[in-house]
Amino acid sequence: MKKIITAIILIFIVSTLSAQKRDVVRYKQNWDKQTIFWGYYLGLNQKSFKISYNQYNPNTFIQVKESTGFNVGLIGDLRIHKNVNLRLEPGLSSNTKELTFTHLNGAKDSIRDVNGTYLRIPLLVKLSTDRLNNLRPYLIGGVSYDYNFSSNQDNPDDNYDGEFRMKKNNFTYEFGVGVDFYLPYFIFSPSIRGVFAINKELVNDNDPNSPWTGNIDYFGTRGIFIKLAFH
């Protein structure tokens, strides 16, 4: 994931510098005059969890093993100024994490797999620079409602029965950077986003002194999303 991020940043820098040094044919010259346009995206994500505790104990903490997942969705874009767009990006995001409760000393119940398939509905503001030949860098950020299809929030069983429960309805905020590449037949728009949960996503065990959830104060998603958009 880090190599992919580094490659995208290098491509962006090299392309921007090259475009400023030479005269090029300007593609899609009327594209930015549209009030509304549509597109789609696909990409990768790497998610983890931010965890804080009611009482800090160096021997009592949770290790998170991250993994790479995918995201795919649609784009609806409304131009409200020549450099400002309001954007809706509904889509699916899927990822799996492994939690290790180190204080349970290697017992079989010390590991939990947390699967997550989310319907994400981000509402974002995109702030673009003026066009540089066939490039247009931008900043993007906003909030999202995330519905967890993998949630077992309503399950009466908890970790004592092997069930690590997560909430159905969640909210996140995100921000990132990207660049629009104007090509002859379409616009290619890669971006890198940071995504952070607002609410606590964990459903605590029924026992307030549970060795799994009793000491957890906050438990929420944080991650990096790479989106490759096409318009």
C-alpha–C-alpha distance, residues 1 and 10, integer Å:
14
**What letter represents residue 48's amino acid?**
S
Q: Whole-model pTM?
A: 0.82
Domain 2-22+35-58+70-93+117-230: give its CATH code: 2.40.160.20
Give every CB contact of residue 191 below 8 A, 6+ residues apart in sequence: 138, 140, 176, 177, 178, 179, 226, 227, 229
Q: What is the pairing mode between strands 111-128 and 36-53?
A: unpaired
C-alpha–C-alpha distance, residues 52 and 166, integer Å:
16
C-alpha–C-alpha distance, residues 95 and 90, integer Å:
17
Q: What is the pLDDT at residue 171?
A: 96
Q: What is the pLDDT at residue 14?
A: 57
Would you list the domain boundaries of the chain?
2-22+35-58+70-93+117-230
**What letter represents residue 80's amino acid?**
I
- Tens of pLDDT along the chain (231 residues) come to 555 556 555 555 555 555 555 567 888 888 888 899 999 999 999 999 999 988 877 667 788 888 889 999 999 999 999 899 999 999 999 998 888 888 786 666 788 888 889 999 999 999 999 988 899 999 999 999 999 998 888 888 888 888 889 999 999 999 999 999 999 889 999 999 999 999 999 999 988 888 888 888 999 999 999 999 999
Residue written as token pair 């505790």:
53
Query: DSSP alpha helices (H): ranges in the chain?
Result: 2-21
- φ, ψ dihedrals at 29, nearest 5°: -70, -25
Among candidate residues 68, 71, 44, 39, the one with its CA nearest the CA of residue 231: 39
